[in-house]
Amino acid sequence: METLFEDIYTWEQDKVQLAAHCFDKRARVWWTRVKQDRSPDLPLINWEEFHGLMFAEYFPDSDKRKMQENFRKLKQGNHTVREREFTHLLNCVPEVARTEQDQAECFVRGLRPGVFRLVHAFKFRTCAEVLDRALWVEHGNACERKERDAFHKEKGKK
């Protein structure tokens, strides 16, 4: 919604109504209840308050704690560097790694050993630098594997 608001230059006072208009089923019932329970003496709900209410309802602290734990344990496994859930989890729980350097270190820590060794040695300070180098290392490893497999295949034919 926030991306849409930026794209169509939405007025601050219109954001809550536009977002609520998109609600369906359970969310619509929740929003109706919130409006009914609110004292008429209070000012209209602004975007910040709406955002907070919605996150409290649909993204409780227990879910955040679970995601934080998942983030700390996140490993690359069999996924490619691009397939990792790192960015998604980081967007959900940004307080886990607040600075660029913290994010870069978390990213490096979860890489596969073969990629980790080559990326960790450089001490990059931003996630963009780490991602770029990890992609290069991963690509280089894949090329090396292909060449080795082709060599062994050719050697087997002889």
Query: Each residue of 73-122: pLDDT tens digit?
Result: 777 777 777 666 677 777 777 777 778 888 888 888 888 888 888 888 88
Q: Exposed, middle or buried: residue 39 (CB in 10 Å: 0-12, 13-18, 19+)?
A: exposed
How many CB atoms neighbour CB 34 within 10 A?
15
21, 41, 58: which is the final residue of a domain? 58
Contacts of 47 (CB under 8 A, 6+ apart): 12, 15, 16
Query: Based on the domain organization, do 54 and 69 belong to the same domain?
Result: no
- Tell whether pTM > 0.85: no
Query: Based on the domain organization, do 32 and 76 belong to the same domain?
Result: no
58, 78, 94: which is the final residue of a domain? 58
What's the total number of domains in the chain?
A: 2
CA 14/CA 20 separation, integer angstroms = 10
Residue 33's pLDDT is: 94
User: Which residues form the domain of 117?
Assistant: 65-157
Query: Based on the domain organization, do 104 and 51 belong to the same domain?
Result: no
Answer for the pair 133, 124: CB distance below 8 angstroms, yes or no. Answer: yes
Query: Based on the domain organization, do 73 and 149 belong to the same domain?
Result: yes
Residue 26's pLDDT is: 93
Most confident of 40-44, 91-95, 139-143: 40-44
Query: Based on the domain organization, do 15 and 71 belong to the same domain?
Result: no
**126: nearest Cα among 105, 144, 111:** 105
Query: Based on the domain organization, do 71 and 25 belong to the same domain?
Result: no
Q: What percent of the chain has pLDDT over 70?
A: 95
CA 94/CA 106 separation, integer angstroms = 12
Residue 67 has pLDDT above 70, yes or no: yes
Mean pLDDT of 61-74: 78
Residue 150's pLDDT is: 82
Query: Based on the domain organization, do 54 and 100 belong to the same domain?
Result: no
Residue 138 has pLDDT above 80, yes or no: yes
Mean pLDDT of 28-40: 93
Looking at per-residue confidence, does 57 or 142 come out higher? 57
Query: Based on the domain organization, do 69 and 87 belong to the same domain?
Result: yes
Query: Based on the domain organization, do 76 and 33 belong to the same domain?
Result: no
Answer for the pair 90, 67: CB distance below 8 angstroms, yes or no. Answer: no
Query: Based on the domain organization, do 8 and 49 belong to the same domain?
Result: yes
Contacts of 31 (CB under 8 A, 6+ apart): 20, 23
Query: Based on the domain organization, do 96 and 153 belong to the same domain?
Result: yes
Residue 144 has pLDDT above 80, yes or no: yes
CA 127/CA 66 separation, integer angstroms = 23
40, 58, 76: which is the final residue of a domain? 58
Answer for the pair 12, 46: CB distance below 8 angstroms, yes or no. Answer: yes
Residue type at 90 in one-letter notation: L
CA 8/CA 69 separation, integer angstroms = 37
Looking at per-residue confidence, does 97 or 35 come out higher? 35
Query: Based on the domain organization, do 25 and 96 belong to the same domain?
Result: no
Residue 155's pLDDT is: 73
